[in-house]
Chain A
Amino acid sequence: MKILIDNAEVECKEGDLLIEVMLKNALEIPHFCYQEDLGADGNCRMCMVEIKGQKRPQIACNTFVKENLEVSTISENIKEVKRSILELELLNHPVDCAICDQAGECKLQDYYMDFGLYDSHLSTPKTKKGKHIDLGSNVMLDQERCVLCTRCVRFTSNITKTNELGIIGRGDNSRVAVAPGHELNNPYAMNVVELCPVGALTSKDFRFKQRVWFLDSTKSICHGCSRGCNIYIDYNETKYSAEKVHRFRARRNNKINKSFLCDYGRLSYKELNENFNADVSHVKDLKELLKDEKKLALVSPSMSLQQLQAVKSFCKDNSVELFSLPYIDENFGDEWLKTNDMSANFNGVKELGINYDEDEFGVSLQEAHVVINFDHKYLKNRELKSKKVVHFTTSHVDSDYELIFVIADFAHDSGTIINCDGIRQDFYATKYESQNSRLVDILEELK
Chain B
Amino acid sequence: MGIKVVHRHGNTFKEKMYISAIFSGMKTTLKHFSTNLKDATQIPTVCYPDEKPTDITPRYRGVHRLTHRKEDNSIACVACFMCATACPSNCIDIVAMAREDGLDEKMPKVFNIDLLECVFCGYCVEACPCDAIRMDSGIYSVVGETREEFIYDKEKLLSIKGISKEEYSLAK
Contact = CB atoms under 8 A, between A and B. Distances in A.
Interface of A: 96-99, 103, 131-132, 207-209, 211, 213-214, 238-240
Given A131-B105, A208-B79, A98 B129 contact: yes
Contact residues of A: prevailing secondary structure: loop
A208 B85 CA distance: 15
Nearest to A240: B93
Contacts of A214: 81, 85
Interface of B: 78-82, 85, 90, 93, 96-98, 104-106, 112, 129-130
B85 A98 contact: no
Nearest to A239: B90
Contacts of B93: 238-240
A99 B132 CA distance: 14
Given A208-B98, A209-B96, A214-B85, 20 more contacts: A97-B80, A98-B78, A98-B80, A98-B82, A98-B106, A98-B129, A98-B130, A99-B79, A99-B104, A99-B106, A103-B80, A131-B105, A132-B105, A207-B98, A208-B96, A208-B97, A211-B80, A211-B85, A238-B93, A240-B112
- Which one of B79, B81, B82, B90 has the greatest number of beta carbons of chain A within 10 Å? B81
- Which one of B105, B112, B130 has the greatest number of beta carbons of chain A within 10 Å? B105
A99 B78 contact: yes
A103 B106 CA distance: 14
Contacts of B82: 98
A97 B82 CA distance: 11
Contacts of A240: 93, 112
Contacts of B104: 99
Contacts of B81: 211, 214
Nearest to A95: B129
A426 to B, nearest CB: 33
A117 to B, nearest CB: 18
A357 to B, nearest CB: 50
A97 to B, nearest CB: 8
Contacts of A207: 98
A98 B104 CA distance: 11
